[in-house]
Amino acid sequence: MDQERLRDLLNSFAKLRLAVVGDFCLDRYLEIDSAHHELSIETGLPVYKVTRVRAQPGAAGTVLNNLVGLGVGTIFPVGFCGDDGEGYELSRALSSLSGIDLRHFLNTPQRRTFTYCKPLLLAPEQLPRELSRLDSKNWSATPECVSDALAKSVASLAGHVDAISVMDQVDIPETGVVTEVVRRELAQLAIEIPVLADSRSGLGLYPPLIFKLNRSELCALQPGTPLPSTTALQTALEAIADRNQCAAFVTLAEEGMLGALPGQKALSARSLPVRGPIDIVGAGDSVTAALTAALAVGASLGEAMELAMLAASSTVHQLGTTGQARAEDLLEINRAFGSVA
């Protein structure tokens, strides 16, 4: 992408009002000193010395964090946390970010705060190594009163935001934020503004929105139909765009990504060269954030994908953390490597 055009797009993000609807979790990193060796007297098991605890928004919060890094002016998180210590940490982490309006972020005693606890082993001159994660999730259905409150918040966004990013991170449908009643309200907003959806459990239950998928998620939407070739992936993506009458995207890791508009052939954007060690955690969320912001300011399909590939290139080179794509980093990468289309 031309450097001046990229700068113009990034500068235009400051005027945006975006919402992120979805499962906000607490990413809690426990930094462990690998030089410390001790066995528990009681159990005989290794004792890990935690030297630092880092807390930051995860899941839908990672999308939001990338929107902040890209310079979006105002962001409304729509979701919930529990009335617990993790909820306090998550709310504090969200409120510390620039441009965040928490009026639609619900604190409820009827849910626990979704938490990824990530022990991170640190050793001199070695890359951080994540140990087995400790997760706290909600396995029961989201109470009706919570879903209704969230749906009301989504409906109230009409006329107040330029686009919405949806991040569904739960393993079991109806146990998180994006329940059926919330999806119905999102479908209504999608008539007027871009609404881009990404779902860990698949987008099969979703109304016609802008779908952002990875390869396995695209395959899951085409049961019984193997998609081994790029041509087959393109055909399947074009079919989704035609069915939804919206843009559709699929990320392909080191092969870049594809995007399609209704009635048009899919376009491709290639990934940028790797520049040393990488950590892919959060790369897809940076793509989601970049696509949402780019489409909200009227970028073309190709421009949105180029910007997304720049964002992914930035985040994968941030080690031991869920990375954040920053506008200044995208400009620097683009200056170094030129167009990624």
Q: Domain with 114 in it: what CATH number? A: 3.40.1190.20
Residue (of 148, 60, 143) closest to 109 by Cα position:
143
Under the banding of pLDDT at 50, 70 and 90, the label for residue 341 is: very low
40 located within any domain: no
Model pLDDT, residue 227: 66
Six token digits for residue 120: 């991170």
Domain count, the chain: 1
124 located within any domain: no
pLDDT per position as a tens digit, 52-82: 999 999 999 999 999 999 999 999 999 999 9
Q: Is the pLDDT of residue 276 over 90?
A: no
Model pLDDT, residue 8: 97
37 located within any domain: no
CB 193 within 8 A of CB 210: no
Model pLDDT, residue 202: 83
Q: Residue 302 class from Cβ within 10 Å (0-12 exposed, 13-18 middle, 19+ buried)?
A: middle
Distant-in-sequence contacts of 329-334, Cβ < 8 A, 24+ apart: 330/6, 330/10, 330/70, 331/3, 331/6, 331/7, 331/10, 333/272, 334/1, 334/3, 334/6, 334/310
168 located within any domain: yes
Where in the sequence is the domain holding 13, given as residue range(s)? 3-27+58-118+140-337
CB 57 within 8 A of CB 280: no
Q: Report helix angle 3-12 to 327-337, nearest 10.
A: 170
Q: Mean of the pLDDT values across residues 172-183?
A: 96
Mean pLDDT of the chain, nearest integer: 93
Q: How many CA atoms lie within 13 A of 306 on its CB side?
A: 21
Please tell me what DSSP assigns to residue 286: H
DSSP 180-231: HHHHHHHHHHTTTS-EEEEETT-STT--S-EEEEEHHHHHHTSTT----SHH
The H or E element containing residue 50 is strand 50-59
Please tell me what DSSP assigns to residue 255: G
Q: Mean of the pLDDT values across residues 245-258?
A: 94
51 located within any domain: no
CB 267 within 8 A of CB 238: no
Please tell me what DSSP assigns to residue 15: G
316 located within any domain: yes
133 located within any domain: no
Q: Is the pLDDT of residue 191 over 90?
A: yes
CB atoms within 10 A of CB 306: 26
pLDDT per position as a tens digit, 77-123: 999 999 999 999 999 999 999 999 999 999 999 999 999 999 999 99
Return all residues near 196 (Cβ < 8 A) that are at least 6 apart. Answer: 163, 164, 165, 166, 209, 210, 211, 212, 288, 291, 292, 295
One-letter identity of residue 171: D
CB 305 within 8 A of CB 249: yes
321 located within any domain: yes
Under the banding of pLDDT at 50, 70 and 90, the label for residue 226 is: low
pLDDT per position as a tens digit, 290-318: 999 999 999 999 999 999 999 999 998 88
Share of the chain above pLDDT 90, in %: 81
Please tell me what DSSP assigns to residue 100: B
Q: Mean of the pLDDT values across residues 263-274?
A: 92
- How far is CA 87 from its chain centroid? 19
Model pLDDT, residue 340: 43
Q: Mean of the pLDDT values across residues 313-337?
A: 88
Q: How many residues does the chain have?
A: 341
Residue with token string 């993000």: 13
